[in-house]
Amino acid sequence: DWSSDVCSSDLYLEYRGPGIQHRLFSKLRSGRVHLEAELDLHGMTLVKAEPALSQFLEVCQQQQIRCVRIIHGKGWGSRDNKPVLKSKLNFWLRQSDIVLAFCSATVEDGGTGALYVLLRRLHTDT
């Protein structure tokens, strides 16, 4: 039952995949990264959010976009005021081959209602 995995609205999320340099991750955490794209899932149902997320990640990777912000909101509008999207994103992003690392945004960028996500570069044969 995944509902037991629901994180709280103000929980700080972070995930650092293998091989991510500490310096790069601390830049991500402090928001000192150039955000090249943004996805706003705020208010979406899980059924809409999952395909929107995977399509967004694929397009970003094809365009060699390295760092993005995903807004998921804090869940105040959902049933039981629980951040369902945030919890699922925490799970989905960890499963994605495209995602290298992620963490909750700085307060100016949405705080625990948004994530900075670092994407794997697509290796193209040139």
Residue pair 87/7 in contact by the 8 Å Cβ criterion: yes
* Tally of CB atoms within 10 A around 85: 26
pLDDT-derived band at 41 (thresholds 50, 70, 90) equals very high
pLDDT-derived band at 78 (thresholds 50, 70, 90) equals low
Three-state SS letters, 21-67: CHHHHHHHHCCCCCCCEEEECCCCCHHHHHHHHHHHHHHHHHCCCCE
Q: In sequence order, which residues have a C-beta less than 8 Å from that of residue 123 and are 6 or more positions away?
A: none
Q: Rounded to an integer, what distance in angstroms lies between the CA atom of residue 61 and that of residue 122?
A: 6
Task: Give mean pLDDT, residues 47-52.
Answer: 96
Q: Give exposure, 18-47, as e/b (b: 16+ Cβ within 10 Å).
A: eeeeeeebeebbeeebeeebebebbebeee
pLDDT-derived band at 34 (thresholds 50, 70, 90) equals very high
Strand, coil or helix: what is 15?
strand
Going from the C-alpha of 44 to that of each of 11, 77, 86, the distances in angstroms are 20, 10, 11
Task: Give mean pLDDT, residues 83-93.
Answer: 91
Task: Supply the pLDDT for residue 67.
Answer: 97
